[in-house]
Amino acid sequence: MEKDGVTILVDGREFHHEKRTGISRVLEGIVRNISHSPFGADIRLAVFADTTIPESLADQNNLSLEVIATTAPGAERALSNMTQEKCDLFLSPYPKLPLFGGNCKYVNIIHDVLYITHVGKKGIKTYWDILRLRAALKKADLTWYDSRFSLNETIRLFGWAGRNPRVRYPGIDQRFASPEIDTRTIAENYDLKPGYILTVGNGKAHKNLKVIIDIAAEVRRSIVFVGVNAADRQQWLHQPNGHKCRWIQSVKDADLPALIKNAFCLVQPSFIEGYGYPPLEAMACGVPVIVSDIPVLIETTGARALRVDPNNSAAWKGAIERLENKDFYGAQKEKGLQWSQTLLGKKAWQKYTSDIQQLLDQHP
């Protein structure tokens, strides 16, 4: 098809959140690289009125903002109407597509299906999510998966993974590998002494923080949890060692690389995950990583991280102690740097852009 005049509509509602999410990082990376692609696409980013888009997208001449309603019905109606206008492709960072869309091509992303497979009691929302995901799998011309684990889980749930499923590992922002980060000043700003054991995440039950809290009195390094809000923190503070840990509810996105670089190691003891950005960002920072011995984290870290039974606190303590050996620490650091290089900067995002170009080149 003719390359000039291509219009891509992107659901940019994820940028509304004050706190950067994994989904917003994926969306930013894809949109940034599409905007620099050679096929000359005009990008229409559907956002809420009070949205602030990432700085990396703010100066893109081929990107325009389309304000949509903040209510779910209003947003769905707006997105559906926009796909019936001048639109060659609609890109959703979610596993769902507009309910009443037009005749353009469709791409969506399945980060995981945990919100369906790992809910305590299935209610109306869960069944609605199942219907939306099933409809998206039938309608999408291309479905991206963050991991083969999530693809296989989708097949287990629905019997198939869509008409054109592809596993694409999201990229890591280049700033995590930057040697020019002022780690000392940022550590002081957060009143942290370098050399702590770090966990980054929302602190929900599946993040399994207890296994790390249990060893807080037995390891010589301080334990720092970043990203756990006040409500979720309460369940962990009731643990015997909960108050012996440092809790930082939120950090500026620009400060995260420095906080990771100041860590002795990063631990991710989750029972379940869909992808796992923090371990990869830590690897890019040159910080060794310890993760739960679960398939998705083995896959996304390239089996380069130390792996531990998520139910065995003594094993986590032992893994941390192994890193106290200077030679072993250096070896683990090097493994992480080598793996993260494959996902750093533009390299990973180029596969997404190539997929879109191939899709646009196909006849309707």
122 with 235, same domain: the answer is no
DSSP state of 322: H
- Residue-range definition of the domain harbouring residue 11: 7-171+345-361
H/E segment holding residue 150: helix 148-158
Is residue 1 included in any domain, yes or no? no
The pLDDT value recorded for residue 70 is: 93
User: With the C-alpha atoms ordered 150, 301, 20, 59, is the resulting torsion angle positive or negative?
Assistant: negative
Largest CA distance in the chain: 65
Is residue 2 included in any domain, yes or no? no
The pLDDT value recorded for residue 39 is: 78
Give the residue from 290, 291, 277 showing the smallest Cα distance to 323: 290
Is residue 279 included in any domain, yes or no? yes
The pLDDT value recorded for residue 345 is: 85
203 with 336, same domain: the answer is yes
260 with 132, same domain: the answer is no
The pLDDT value recorded for residue 24 is: 92
284 with 327, same domain: the answer is yes
Q: Which residue has the tokens 């993260």?
A: 340
DSSP state of 244: G
Report the domain count for the chain.
2
- Average pLDDT for runs of 10 along the chain of length 364: 73 85 92 88 94 87 94 93 92 94 92 90 91 96 97 96 96 91 90 96 93 96 96 92 94 93 97 93 97 97 97 98 98 97 91 94 75
H/E segment holding residue 42: strand 42-47
H/E segment holding residue 105: strand 105-110
* CATH number assigned to the domain comprising residue 144: 3.40.50.2000
295 with 197, same domain: the answer is yes
Non-local (6+) Cβ contacts of 1 within 8 A are: 360, 361, 362, 363
187 with 323, same domain: the answer is yes
